[in-house]
Structure 1
Amino acid sequence: MVVKVSASTFFSKCVNLKDLTLHGIEMRDLEELTLCLPQLSNLSVTNSFCNVLNVVTPQLQNLTASFDSIHGLYCREGFSYLEKVHLSWFNTYFCVGKERHLSKIIGVLQKFHTAKFLILDASIIKALSSCVDQLLLEPCPFNNLKCLKMNTMLVTRSHVVVPVQLKNYFLDKSPTATFITDYPQVPQKRSSQQVYDDDDAGAKKMAKLDLQKQPAADTTIITQENELLDANLQMQDQVISKQEAMLEAKIQMQEQAITKQKAMFEAKMQMQDQVITKQKEMFEAKIQMLDNVIAEQKAKIQMQDNVIAEQKERIHMVEVAKLDHDKLISYVIKSKIAELKVQVESGNPDYEVIRSIGSEIKSIMELIPDSLRPVMDAQFCFEYVKWKSLFLTHIDVSQWSKIETELGIINGV
Structure 2
Amino acid sequence: MDLTYSPEDEQFRGEIRDWLDANLQGEFGRLKGLGGSGREHEAFEERLEWNRHMAAAGWTCVAWPVEHGGRGLSLAQQVIFHQEYARSNAPARVNHLGEELLGPTLIDLGTPEQQQRFLPKIVAVEELWSQGYSEPGAGSDLANVSTRARLEGDQWVINGQKVWTSLAQHAQWCFVVARTSDGERRHDGLSYLLVPLEQEGVEIRPILQLTGTSEFNEVFFDDARTDADLVVGEPGKGWGVAMATLGYERGVSTLAQQISYRRELEVVIETARRTGAIDDPVLRDRITEAHLGLEIIRLHALRSLGGEQGYESSVAKILWARWHRDLGELAMAVAGPEALTVAAEPYDLDDLQTLFLFSRADTLYGGSDEILRNVLAERVLGLPREARS
TM-score (normalizing by structure 2):
0.21
Bigger proportion of residues as helix: 1
Structure number with larger C-alpha Rg: 1
TM-score by length of 1: 0.20
Q: Relative contact order, CA 8 A, sep 6+: which one is greater?
A: 2
